Amino acid sequence: MKNVKSLILFSTAFAVAGISCVAVNAAATYADQIDVSLEQQENTGGDKIRFISTMTPVTDLNSITKINLNFTLSKAGEATKNASLTTTSVYDEVLGTNGKNKSSNTYYAVHTLTDLQDFKGWTLGTTFEYVYADSTVETTNTVYYDIPAKYTYTSGSGSFEESSSIADCFTADSITNGNIFHAWNWHMDVIKENLDNIKNAGYTTVQTSPMQPQKDYWSGGDTAKAGWWKLYQPLGFCIAPDTCQNAIGTKTNLAKLVTAAHNKGIKVIVDVVANHLAGDATSLSSGVAGYEPAIYGTNGTLSGGALLHSETGSSATDSSHTTNGNIGLPDLNTHSEVVQGRVLSLLKEYIDLGVDGFRFDAIKHIETDNPSEPCGSSSFMPNVVGQAKTYAKNKGQELYCYGEILNGCGSGRSYDWYLPYMDVIANKCGNELRKNFNSGTAAASSSYNPTGYSSGEHCIVWAESHDTYANDEHESPDTSIYNINKTYAIMGSRNGAKALYLARPTDTTGTSAWTSCQTKLGAKGSDAYKLKEVAAVNKFRNYWGTEAEYLSNSSNFAMVVRYNSAESGMVLVNAGTGTSVSNVEVPDKMKNGTYTDLVSGNTFTVANGKVSGTMDSSCIAVLYSESGTGTVSIEDDIEDLFYTATETATYTIKNAVSATLTVDGETYNITSGATLTFGNYMDVSDKLTVTIKAKDSNNVETTKQFVYRRIPAPTIYTVTLTKPEGWANTIYAYMYGDVDKNAAWPGVLMSSEGDTYSATFTSFDDYEYIIFSDGTYQSEDLELDHTNASYYADTVSTSHFINSVGWSTVKAYIWNDSASTEAAAWPGTAISKDSTGLYAVTYSSAYDHIIFNNGSAQTADLPFNAYISKYDYNGTAATIYYNIVKNSCASHSYDAGVVTTAPTCENAGVKTYTCSNCGNTYTETIPALGHNYDYASAPEWSWVGFSQATASFTCKNDASHKDQVTATITSETVGNVTTYTATVTKGGHTYTDTKVDDGSHTHTYAHTDAKAATCQATGNLEYYYCAGCDTYFDASYHETTLEALTLAKTDHTVASGVYSAADGVTCSVCHEEIEYTVNTSTVYYLVNSTWGDDWNTIVNIHYWGGTSNTTWPGNQMTKGGTVTYNGVTYTVYSYTFASGSLTDYTGVIFDSGTNATQKTDDITVLAGVNCYFNAYDTNYLATQFIYIP
Average pLDDT of the segment spanning 793-799: 94
Residue 200 has a CB neighbour count (10 Å cut-off) of 13
Distance CA(146)–CA(111), nearest Å, equals: 17
Please give the torsion angle defined by the CA atoms of residues 516, 522, 525 and 527, in that order, rounded to the nearest 10 degrees: 170
Asked if the bond preceding 477 is cis, omega within 30° of 0, the reply is no
Assign 54 a pLDDT band (cuts: 50, 70, 90). Answer: low
More confident residue, 907 or 727: 727
Q: Is the pLDDT of residue 31 over 90?
A: no
More confident residue, 1172 or 1063: 1172
Pick one of 2.60.40.1220, 3.30.2310.20, 3.30.465.10, 2.60.40.10 as the CATH number of 716-794+889-926: 2.60.40.10
212-216, 358-362, 401-405: range with lowest mean pLDDT: 212-216
Residue 817 near residue 1109, CB atoms below 8 Å = yes
Distance CA(724)–CA(869), nearest Å, equals: 13
Assign 628 a pLDDT band (cuts: 50, 70, 90). Answer: very low
Q: Is the pLDDT of residue 706 over 90?
A: yes
Strand 701-710 and strand 641-642: pairing? Answer: parallel
- HSE on the CB side for 180, CA within 13 Å? 33
Average pLDDT of the segment spanning 908-916: 81
Q: Is the pLDDT of residue 178 over 70?
A: yes
Amino acid at 353: L
| φ, ψ for residue 464, nearest 5 deg | -160, 165
Q: Is the pLDDT of residue 316 over 80?
A: no
Residue 142 near residue 936, CB atoms below 8 Å = yes
Per-residue b/e over 903-913, b at no fewer than 16 CB within 10 Å?
A: bebeeebbbbb
Tell me which CATH code domain 633-710 carries: 2.60.40.10
Assign 721 a pLDDT band (cuts: 50, 70, 90). Answer: very high
Residue 1157 near residue 1175, CB atoms below 8 Å = no
Residues in the chain: 1189
More confident residue, 51 or 1052: 1052
Q: Is the pLDDT of residue 251 over 70?
A: yes
Residue 235 near residue 218, CB atoms below 8 Å = no
Average pLDDT of the segment spanning 215-223: 74
CATH architecture of 8-147: Sandwich (2.60)
**DSSP letter at 442?**
-
More confident residue, 379 or 1036: 379
Q: Which fold has domain 798-882?
A: Immunoglobulin-like (2.60.40)
Q: Is the pLDDT of residue 164 over 70?
A: no
Residue 214 has a CB neighbour count (10 Å cut-off) of 27
Residue 361 near residue 274, CB atoms below 8 Å = yes
Q: Is the pLDDT of residue 1101 over 80?
A: yes
Distance CA(43)–CA(681), nearest Å, equals: 10
Distance CA(858)–CA(981), nearest Å, equals: 87
Transcribe 1015-1071 into DSSP letters. SSS-EE--EEEETTTTEEEETTS-EE-HHHHEEPPPPP---SEEEETTT--B-TTT-
Containing 1180, the helix (H) or strand (E) segment is helix 1178-1181
Q: How far lies 843's CA from each of 811, 819, 826, 880, in Å?
A: 15, 17, 18, 15
Distance CA(22)–CA(629), nearest Å, equals: 75
More confident residue, 584 or 820: 584
Assign 219 a pLDDT band (cuts: 50, 70, 90). Answer: low
More confident residue, 30 or 112: 112
Strand 732-736 and strand 769-773: pairing? Answer: antiparallel
Residue 901 has a CB neighbour count (10 Å cut-off) of 14
pLDDT at position 1113 is 83
Q: Considering the chain, what percentage of its residues have pLDDT values greater than 70?
A: 88
Distance CA(349)–CA(356), nearest Å, equals: 12
46-60, 312-326, 656-670: range with lowest mean pLDDT: 46-60
- HSE on the CB side for 381, CA within 13 Å? 22
Instruction: Report CA 689 to chain centroid distance, whole Å.
Output: 36
Transcribe 281-330 into DSSP letters. SSBB-TTHHHH-HHHHTTTSBTTTT--B-S-----SS-HHHHTTS-SSS-
Assign 1144 a pLDDT band (cuts: 50, 70, 90). Answer: confident
Average pLDDT of the segment spanning 757-777: 89
Average pLDDT of the segment spanning 930-947: 85
Distance CA(850)–CA(816), nearest Å, equals: 9
Distance CA(734)–CA(792), nearest Å, equals: 16
Q: Is the pLDDT of residue 1177 over 70?
A: no
Assign 1090 a pLDDT band (cuts: 50, 70, 90). Answer: low
Transcribe 201-265 into DSSP letters. TT-SEEEEPP-SPBTT--TT--BHHHHGGGGGSBSSSSPPPTTT-STT--HHHHHHHHHHHHHTT
> Residue 188: which of 682, 433, 523 has the closest Cα?
523
Q: Is the pLDDT of residue 14 over 50?
A: no
50-59, 254-263, 368-377, 593-602: range with lowest mean pLDDT: 50-59
Average pLDDT over the chain, rounded to whole?
84
Residue 361 near residue 255, CB atoms below 8 Å = no
DSSP three-state, residue 116? helix
Highest mean pLDDT among 149-163, 218-232, 553-567: 553-567
Angle of helix 481-491 relative to helix 532-544, nearest 10 degrees, comes to 10
Distance CA(832)–CA(838), nearest Å, equals: 8
Average pLDDT of the segment spanning 718-732: 91
More confident residue, 755 or 653: 653
Over residues 67-111, the pLDDT tens digits come to: 787 888 888 788 888 877 676 655 555 554 455 555 555 656 666
pLDDT at position 95 is 52
Strand 658-663 and strand 687-695: pairing? Answer: antiparallel
Q: Is the pLDDT of residue 435 over 90?
A: yes
Own/partner long-range contacts of 1051-1055 (Cβ < 8 Å, ≥24 apart) = 1051/1015, 1052/1015, 1053/1015, 1054/1188, 1055/1188
Q: How many DSSP H helices and E strands does the chain contain?
A: 18, 80
Residue 1011 has a CB neighbour count (10 Å cut-off) of 13
Containing 688, the helix (H) or strand (E) segment is strand 687-695
Return the bridge partners of 1144, or none: none
Containing 839, the helix (H) or strand (E) segment is strand 839-842
> Residue 300: which of 277, 281, 283 has the closest Cα?
283
Over residues 486-522, the pLDDT tens digits come to: 999 999 999 999 999 999 999 999 888 888 888 989 9
pLDDT at position 122 is 82
Residue 502 has a CB neighbour count (10 Å cut-off) of 26
Apex 652 CA angle, 651 and 653, nearest 5: 115
pLDDT at position 1 is 23
Burial class (CB in 10 A: 0-12, 13-18, 19+), 492: buried
Residue 932 near residue 956, CB atoms below 8 Å = yes
Ramachandran quadrant class, 681 (left: phi over 0; alpha: psi -120 to 50; beta: rest): left
More confident residue, 631 or 306: 306
More confident residue, 109 or 1168: 1168
Per-residue b/e over 159-173, b at no fewer than 16 CB within 10 Å?
A: ebeebeebeebbbbe
Residue 484 near residue 476, CB atoms below 8 Å = yes
| φ, ψ for residue 1085, nearest 5 deg | -130, 125
pLDDT at position 44 is 47
pLDDT at position 97 is 47
User: Residue 13: which residues within 8 A CB-CB, separation 6 or more?
Assistant: 87, 88, 89
Average pLDDT of the segment spanning 1139-1154: 82
Q: Is the pLDDT of residue 857 over 60?
A: yes
pLDDT at position 890 is 60
Transcribe 250-294 into DSSP letters. -HHHHHHHHHHHHHTT-EEEEEEE-SB-SB-SSBB-TTHHHH-HH
Over residues 390-422, the pLDDT tens digits come to: 888 878 789 999 999 999 998 889 999 999 999
Superfamily of domain covering 170-270+332-546: Glycosidases (3.20.20.80)
Highest mean pLDDT among 641-645, 854-858, 890-894, 1071-1075: 854-858
